[in-house]
Amino acid sequence: MRILFISSPAYGHIDPILSLGQELNSQGVEVWVATDPAHQSLIESIGLRFLSFPWFTGRLFEFEKELKALYETVQYQRDQLDLLVCEASTGAALVAEASGIPWVSYQTFISSKEPFSNEQMKRGYIQSINKSRKAIGLRSLSEHDSLEVTSPLLHLVMIMPEMIDEDTVFPSKTLIAGPCYLETVDNRQIAFLEDMPPNVPIVLVCTPSLDSLKPDSLRYVEASLQAFAQDECLVIISIDPSMAKSSTVFNNLPPSVLIVTDYPMHHKLMQIADVIITHGGLGTIQRAIAYGVPQLVIPLGFDHFVNAEHSKRTGRASIISLEHVSPNSLKSSVDALMHSIKNKKERIYEFERLKKECVAEIISLVNKKEGQ
């Protein structure tokens, strides 16, 4: 049994499918992952096969060259593949639709009731997606067609139930998979946790993996250092290695600040954190909820604003805009959070159950195909 996952290299997108892939692999499934070469060592370290595919560039669906390359790669492998797993409404989903191979779609974002702000934007989207569909032999869509590209076999929603609006409409064959996390780490990466001082509040600052968001994230990282580094607490900053090396913000840090560049290890850090400061990526937000850690969300763009509002509804998060970030505003917001939420309420085992149900459904799909 062989399954190919195709994923964006952004951590919030690849993390869930690596978690599923690892679970499938433990049950005897051969799992391949096609993504950016930056993740090759991570993928191979957890026992999965790596297939190099530089992710799509360009605006919307204007990436015919990459699309054709991925389509040709999948077609070359088609006789050896039992199933494709791709993120819904992406170029990879178009390739899956055109391939003729059974496929499963998944989403790592909260559905928007109206994804287009105006009709002009909608028409532009249709024009772009039809250009890509034509490149791989798919029929064009009209304004009356559904513009969501999801699998007719199974659609996985990798979002915890309370983050989903009650009136959200999903495809008929949808399974709420909940947040899936890759939770494996080399013990050498976490040796520093053994030296943590007891009874010292820990502030965990998480940063984005997308290059376009890194400059803005430095604003709240620097403010966090000014607010807490000299306080009676420990500040842990989880950051991309290139970002840590390129910014002067991280020069001459006091002993109360730790820089962590290894991935993935959020699950280890959140077990010890008292509060989290984050940009609002859904992966970080959901993991914080799963481990019961209060969070201060500073949305930077994309779906962060929606994620932040949904997180706030759980009663364990607050929001501050980037323009209002300062050492004083962060300190007062964090103090208020830690004062109002004094106990952790872990729910990680609940989400592990959802993941296992999801994996069982995927294996069942492949077994049905083989039995035909």
> Which residue carries 């993935």 as its tokens?
264
Q: Averaged over 285-309, what is the pLDDT?
A: 91
The total number of structural domains that make up the chain: 2
Look up the pTM and report it.
0.87
H-helix or E-strand containing 128?
helix 119-135
> Which residue carries 């968001």 as its tokens?
213
Q: How many CA atoms lie within 13 A of 66 on its CB side?
A: 21
Shared domain for 269 and 360, answered yes or no, is no
Shared domain for 100 and 80, answered yes or no, is yes
Domain region containing 296: 187-341
> Residues 56-100: pLDDT tens digits?
654 444 567 778 888 888 998 888 999 999 998 788 899 999 999
Structural contact between residues 269 and 238, judged by C-beta atoms closer than 8 angstroms: yes
Q: What is the mean pLDDT of the chain?
A: 85
Kindly report each contact of residues 362-366 with a partner whose C-beta sits within 8 Å and lies 24 or more positions away, as own/partner: 362/3, 362/20, 362/24, 362/83, 362/85, 362/104, 362/154, 363/1, 363/24, 363/27, 363/29, 365/83, 365/102, 365/104, 365/153, 365/154, 366/1, 366/3, 366/29, 366/82, 366/83, 366/102
Shared domain for 50 and 120, answered yes or no, is yes
Shared domain for 299 and 359, answered yes or no, is no
Q: Averaged over 5-29, what is the pLDDT?
A: 90
Q: Report d(CA 180, CA 286) in Å as an integer.
A: 9
Shared domain for 201 and 235, answered yes or no, is yes
Q: What is the pLDDT of residue 120?
A: 80
Q: Report d(CA 348, CA 368) in Å as an integer.
A: 31
> Residues 182-202: pLDDT tens digits?
766 555 556 666 677 778 889
- Side chain identity at residue 259, one-letter code: I
Shared domain for 212 and 78, answered yes or no, is no
Shared domain for 358 and 313, answered yes or no, is no
Shared domain for 222 and 130, answered yes or no, is no
Shared domain for 122 and 79, answered yes or no, is yes
User: Bridge-partner residues for 76, per DSSP?
Assistant: none
Q: pLDDT at residue 243 above 90?
A: no
Q: pLDDT at residue 19 above 80?
A: yes
Q: pLDDT at residue 278 above 90?
A: yes
Q: Which segments within 144-274 are labelled E, that is strand?
A: 155-157, 174-176, 202-206, 234-238, 257-260
Shared domain for 160 and 191, answered yes or no, is no
Is 87 strand, coil or helix?
Answer: strand
Shared domain for 39 and 170, answered yes or no, is yes
Report how far apart, in Å, the C-alpha atoms of 81 and of each of 3, 23, 99, 250 are: 6, 18, 11, 46
Structure token pair of residue 244: 């840590």
Q: Report d(CA 300, CA 278) in Å as an integer.
A: 10
- Higher pLDDT, residue 354 or 65: 354
Shared domain for 230 and 298, answered yes or no, is yes
CATH code, domain with 76: 3.40.50.2000
- Higher pLDDT, residue 133 or 60: 133
The CA angle 335-341-344, to the nearest 5 degrees, is 125
